[in-house]
Amino acid sequence: MNTAKVASVGEALTVLVPEVPGALESCETFVRSIGGAELNVAVGLSTRGVPAALLTRVGDDGFGRHVVDELTRHGVDVSAVEVDPARSTGLYVKEVGGASEHPFDLGRATSRMHYYRQGSAGSALSPSYLERPEVRAVVDGAVLVHLTGITAALSDSARDLCLALVAEPRGERLLSFDLNWRPRLWAGREAEGVRLLGDLARAADVVLLGAEEARTVFSSDDPDELRAILPEPRVIVLKDDENAATAFDGEVRYDVPALRVDVVEAIGAGDAFAAGFLGALVSGRGVREAVQEAHGLAVIALASHGDHVGPADGAPRAP
């Protein structure tokens, strides 16, 4: 019987990270890892003691098998992962800035993602995926289902999967939505993206968003204005430009300062924040305490080069 409290839905990716920071054209060797926003959340939850499953599709290739093996090693439920015999596992290459004199070196504590995911197995997620018995078992048994705006941007079929999920009767099950506005994924169809992500946010019970993306999608980063713009979700969590957070539980507002940290790399910190917050929430903690736990997990991500926080990274585990 499936026991995952949280079902995270989205594309799992292979990640190639340069062994030595610097301009990408100067990097000769790369370390293989796994990533993707929804995967990072599932790993963060599972390694903190909150049972989590990833709902995704991978290719019938070595990268796909590695993704599944690594998820299993981190304790993530992979019973609903579908293997596509024709499409490849999605890939991205991380460019990590260093301190070289190369004109294209991004500089310290700066990273950039280069996606190679068009036509991937994950981009073929669709409403029919939700009809698979393994997927239904995970979704129906979850306390919370987690989506992000990235999945909606991947393809028409992935968009339709998101719309189908938010339209399902949920009963006591919660649905969380992390805005995750990615300009490159919406290039040339920005207006469609703004409209769609707004609709998905309004259909969710819990919404996570950053100030910059809130300005793009909702034309405001003011917490009280956003609460008025988004009256439907019970919980809204807004991270400001300094990574402090304002959270609403209904009309009750909580302002929670960020923790101090020397930033090594920002990629993955938002996913760690989401994992910390959702893990605390489904474990029965209040919204303020959940934000505090989210800050603690985000700090660990900010202080490392990894996309997700693993079991040995020192954050407190949920009971």
312 lies in some domain: no
Q: Is residue 250 assigned to a domain?
A: yes
Pairing of strands 90-96, 235-239: unpaired
Rounded CA separation 232/195 (Å): 16
Distances (CA, A) of 45 to 16, 20, 39, 52, 146: 23, 29, 10, 6, 12
Distance of alpha carbon 197 from alpha carbon 159, whole angstroms: 10
**In the chain, what is the straight-line distance between the N-terminal and C-terminal CA atoms, in Å?**
21
Q: What is the dihedral of CA 111, 99, 212, 33, to 10 degrees?
A: 20
Q: What residues make up the domain containing 105? A: 6-302
> How remote is the C-alpha of 212 from its chain's centroid?
17
Per-residue pLDDT of the chain (319 residues; tens, 9 = 90+): 457 899 999 999 999 999 999 999 999 999 999 999 999 999 999 988 999 999 999 999 999 999 999 999 999 999 999 999 999 999 999 999 998 889 999 998 788 889 999 999 999 999 999 999 999 999 999 999 999 999 999 999 999 999 999 999 999 999 999 999 999 999 999 999 999 999 999 999 999 999 999 999 999 999 999 999 999 999 999 998 777 899 999 999 999 987 654 444 445 578 989 999 999 999 999 999 999 999 888 776 444 545 555 544 444 333 3
Contacts of 145 (CB under 8 A, 6+ apart): 6, 7, 8, 9, 139, 165, 173, 174, 175, 176
Does pTM surpass 0.85?
Answer: yes
Asked whether the beta carbons of 256 and 247 are under 8 A apart, the reply is yes
| CATH number, residue 157 | 3.40.1190.20
Could you say which of 84, 221, 271, 307 is catalytic? 271
- Which stretches does DSSP call E strand in the chain? 6-9, 13-18, 30-35, 52-55, 57-59, 82-84, 90-96, 111-116, 144-148, 174-178, 206-210, 235-239, 245-249, 252-256
Domain count, the chain: 1
Q: Does 316 map to a domain?
A: no
Residue 319 lies inside a defined structural domain of this protein: no
Residue 290 domain flag: yes
Provide the 3-class DSSP secondary structure of residue 34.
strand
| pLDDT given at position 50 | 96
Round to whole Å and give the CA distance between 208 and 295: 13
Cα–Cα distance between 141 and 276 in angstroms, integer? 21
130 belongs to a structural domain: yes
- State the pLDDT at residue 303: 41
Residue 143 forms part of a structural domain: yes
Residue 271 annotated as catalytic: yes
- Residue 174 lies inside a defined structural domain of this protein: yes
